[in-house]
Amino acid sequence: VSLISYDFEYYLPSSIKEAIQLFEALNGEGKEPIYFSGGTEIITLGRLNEVKTGAVIDIKQIPDCQVFLLQEEFLITGAAKTLTSIEEANLFPLLSKTVSEIADRTARNKITAGGNVCGQIFYREAVLPFLLTESLMVIAGNEGIRTVSINDIFNQRLLLEYGEFLVQIKTDQSYLHQPFVSIKRRRQWNTGYPLITVAALKAGGMIRIAISGLTTFPFRSKQMEGILNNSGLSLDERIHHAVETLMVPPLDDSEGSFQYRLFVLKNTLRDVFHQIEGEEHHYG
Ligand SMILES: Cc1cc2nc3c(=O)[nH]c(=O)nc-3n(C[C@H](O)[C@H](O)[C@H](O)COP(=O)(O)OP(=O)(O)OC[C@H]3O[C@@H](n4cnc5c(N)ncnc54)[C@H](O)[C@@H]3O)c2cc1C
């Protein structure tokens, strides 16, 4: 809090209902409240400095936001679960692998699943496993709780209504131990941002692909998957055609140009297919 140069109110509700009521009340007072989870982005972006009458609502003490467990047919990931705790519990190896490559250990002790999904950073790599498994987003708002497939509510970003927050993510357990690959390509060593991250999961005989780093948001393209899974073509032809179908705003930044990212994407897709096919041999 000492990093922030003015006073703001800080709230730590202990239930979903209390959080929603706080949001309503603070909003009514013109305080433009924001939800706070790991806080790493809120603090680094200095977003609080822009919102002069800020009030933050920290969701960390809400028990529903802190679970990470198997229940009935789902894995339930609380929005306030840290990346480190997700990685250590290792209930979903693809998720563990993908989040273990985000930032550095110290940052991962703070960064949360929900904060990464709802954040501003282009990469948001924790979204990739949830896109591949068509997970359900459990969202709280003033009308109660709604559960929506990520397919219907994640388009460039999580399309929350004003005042809503993400409580949990539910992933069908049948996906948790399918063959997967997650490859992060960086320009710099170790903890840099990605040039390209590709996560892949094999389900129902098809390889699903989700990509981060090519454009300003993580995405999964079913059209691209259709081409990549067309066994009538060679792998290189499939990759060439699949990448051609992509219509996304280019991301050009200090990590790399769009052209370079496309080049890295093609190489990474090649590696993804080789690895996932290698896995299959391994499985028998
Ligand atoms: C050194 C460093 C390197 C990093 N590298 C990467 C990287 O390579 N790839 C990557 O993907 N990320 C990376 N990150 C993480 C990323 O930049 C963000 O800091 C992180 O994702 C934010 O998570 P948080 O839990 O701290 O969210 P917060 O800072 O708490 O919140 C982020 C935003 O989401 C909103 N929000 C939070 N939780 C909820 C919720 N439950 N419902 C609705 N809205 C919510 C907040 O209001 C805020 O706008 C890096 C971070 C650091 C510090």
- Measure 44 CA to ligand 1 centroid, in angstroms: 9
Whether 76 contacts 82, CB under 8 Å: no
Q: What pLDDT, on the 0 to 100 scale, is given for residue 1? A: 44
* 3-state SS, residue 10: strand
Pocket probe mutation, ligand 1, options 16, 20, 41, max atoms within 8 Å of Cβ: 41
Whether 113 contacts 81, CB under 8 Å: yes
The ranges of the chain with pLDDT < 70 are: 1-6, 45-53, 188-191, 279-284
* Nearest CA owner, ligand 1 atom 36: 115
CA 23/CA 236 separation, integer angstroms:
51
Whether 21 contacts 140, CB under 8 Å: no
- Measure 10 CA to ligand 1 centroid, in angstroms: 18
- Dihedral of alpha carbons 239, 242, 244, 247, sign: negative
Q: Which helix H or strand E contains 147, and what residues bound it?
A: strand 144-149
The reply to whether ligand 1 has any atom less than 6 angstroms from the CB of 38 is: yes
Task: Ligand 1, residue 139: give the atom nearest the CA.
Answer: 42
Per-residue pLDDT tens for 59-68? 999 999 999 9
How does 105-132 read in b/e, with b if 16+ C-beta sit within 10 Å? eebbebbbbbbbbbbebbbbbbbbbbbb
* 3-state SS, residue 59: coil
The reply to whether ligand 1 has any atom less than 6 angstroms from the CB of 166 is: yes
The reply to whether ligand 1 has any atom less than 6 angstroms from the CB of 114 is: yes
The reply to whether ligand 1 has any atom less than 6 angstroms from the CB of 81 is: no
Whether 246 contacts 224, CB under 8 Å: yes
* Nearest CA owner, ligand 1 atom 37: 115
> At which residue do the structure tokens 């896995």 appear?
279
Please name which of 108, 126, 230, 227 lies closest in space to residue 171, comparing C-alpha atoms. Answer: 126
- Measure 124 CA to ligand 1 centroid, in angstroms: 8
- Measure 199 CA to ligand 1 centroid, in angstroms: 19
Q: What pLDDT, on the 0 to 100 scale, is given for residue 184? A: 96
> At which residue do the structure tokens 């290189």 appear?
236
Instruction: Say what the pTM is.
Output: 0.95
- Measure 280 CA to ligand 1 centroid, in angstroms: 34
> At which residue do the structure tokens 């239930």 appear?
15
- Measure 67 CA to ligand 1 centroid, in angstroms: 18
Q: What pLDDT, on the 0 to 100 scale, is given for residue 69? A: 98
By CB atoms closer than 10 A (0-12, 13-18, 19+), residue 269 is buried
Q: Which helix H or strand E contains 77, and what residues bound it?
A: strand 74-78
* Nearest CA owner, ligand 1 atom 10: 124
Per-residue pLDDT tens for 81-119? 999 999 999 999 999 999 999 999 999 999 999 999 999
